[in-house]
Chains A and B, each alone.
Chain A
């Protein structure tokens, strides 16, 4: 019994790590490759989650859809919807300095949260959408959890291979060139504005896919499931701790931060009720503090961005300044 419980918990945690790793990969395209500060990760995540839920649930008279489509169509729809939300924001904000994108993306996430909370016809408001089908959900509980974990890992692997391939491809080199020296890249004839928009949209689409994978795992979604600050913030710390600019770092960071985050939850759940609630906020404080410490003492993360040849030493030397 005990053993099964542990396996179950491990599978549960691994699924979450894989979903968060997808979000961190998406952020890595935006921040690691292109230097774009997206502070609205939770918003794109929510768009993906709700889109896939609406597309794949059976008809519901209370709200739009559900369209009872295949879950793969739900996932594709989630990516498209998140990309569609990202497009106008990127179009407006990417030519200004990155602070404006940070503020605008916070705004996007807040507006998305408002829409989710106050549009019963679209998202069923506070009651949320339930009965989201899980692929292989007809199997027994344990088998279904494991089957879904395998699917999520497969999606993560595909995403990783594609994103990693782009890192070493001319596109990735160009993005980093734009990030590090916009003027030079522009002089080389690169369309800086368009390329940034591309990176922003690709990254957001991956975040939308993360949302879709989450909603089919959870089988339901309510506005409470998405805490804008916590969801966004956890992904940021995952990428910074793991090593921005490094896809393996993003995945490693997701694993490390999620394990710390959920093990600390187990620890604080042992406390008496009146302290347990406070402990939740102390955990948030510590996550914030962790970011400050990483930024200060190891800004390149656990796995630094890979660079070729002797550039590696020069780069890490100047970074630690």
Chain B
């Protein structure tokens, strides 16, 4: 196998998969940093986003990329609603109770998807897309879109967090919630904003996974472990860390096929997760250990 094959068959799919993980991991890292718990329904929320886009594609007859904003807005709304209905009243209780509630939410979101859209595999558009050849590198259009969309969305978020008033408020909540409350930051608005951002990014992650492969009701649940591995690998609370972690996990999963049977691709994320917890729980970019 030459270098081109390695890049075309492992590294490029790895970067695409990694970008998808990154989109989810950024949301996980934000929720972890601001609300201080692990949100276990994140994967199934991503599945919901993917299926909302599917509903838009089939009912409105628009192209998948045009359905993406609808999925982002819809899932962001659902995320805020879930928080209001099920998480808000648990805030004063130990954080682990909310983690437990989120496991139940994962089950509930998934069963809604299975009732509405069934359990069969679906796709946004039929037919095989041939990759274009760029000086020997073979890349599909949708792979370009995925990576570029990830960079645009996360870049935009980073600008928002560093430049805008509410972004700064979110960072303050993450660094020191008591101090942030004392200085007059509206906790409730920060929480809503966090869920909107996390839910929206989640939908994008689910959408691009469906766009590059296919849609299944269990797809998000299987993304949960890699997304958490990415968030911990990059350093909890670090947006750029989640992107770096996502890319590393994605590429590592694709490359693992070279040494492991392909059934065990998912074990790679688990191995990375355990290794980081054991060796450097603050992650590569020194996030919080919590």
Contacts of B89 in A (CB 8 A): 296
Interface 1/0s, chain B 87-104, versus A by CB < 8 A? Answer: 001101101110111011
Whether A99 is near chain B, meaning CB under 8 Å from some CB there, is yes
Interface string of A17-38 (1 = CB under 8 A from B): 0000000000000000001010
Assess the A233–B107 pair: CB atoms within 8 A: yes
A93 within 8 A of B: yes
Number of interface residues, chain A, beta carbon within 8 A:
40
Pairwise interchain contact A114-B266, C-beta atoms closer than 8 A: yes
Q: Shortest beta-carbon distance, A317 to chain B, in Å?
A: 14
Instruction: Check if A99 sits within 8 Å of B281, measured CB to CB.
Output: no
Chain A residues positioned under 8 Å from B105 (CB to CB):
288, 292
Whether a CB of chain B sits under 8 angstroms from the CB of A202 is no
User: In the complex, how many angstroms separate the beta carbon of B11 from the nearest chain A beta carbon?
Assistant: 24
Partner of B115 from the list A96, A278, A288 (CB cut-off 8 Å) is A278
- Do A114 and B277 form a contact, CB below 8 Å, given A102-B40, A295-B90? no
Majority DSSP secondary structure for residues of B touching A = helix
> Given A92-B277, A233-B107, A285-B108, A111 and B100 touching (CB < 8 A)?
no
Q: Indicate if A299 sits at the interface (CB-CB under 8 A).
A: yes
Of chain B, the residue at the smallest CB distance from A289 is B108
Picked from A93, A111, A299, the residue with its CB within 8 Å of the CB of B277 is: A93
Q: How far is the CA of A27 from the CA of B115 in the complex (A)?
A: 30
A321 touches B225 (CB 8 A): no
Q: Is A114 a contact of B86 with CB atoms below 8 Å? A: no
* B124 is an interface residue with CB less than 8 A from chain A: no
Since A103-B225, A299-B93 are in contact, a sample of 6 more A-B pairs with Cβ atoms closer than 8 Å, ordered by chain A residue number, is: A92-B274, A103-B38, A107-B274, A229-B110, A288-B105, A295-B100
Residues of A within 8 A of B (CB): 35, 37, 39, 92-93, 96-100, 102-104, 106-108, 110-111, 114, 117-118, 229, 233, 236-237, 240, 278, 281-282, 284-285, 287-289, 291-292, 295-296, 299, 321
11 sampled A-B residue pairs with Cβ under 8 A: A100-B38, A103-B38, A103-B40, A104-B277, A111-B267, A117-B263, A229-B106, A237-B104, A278-B115, A288-B111, A291-B101
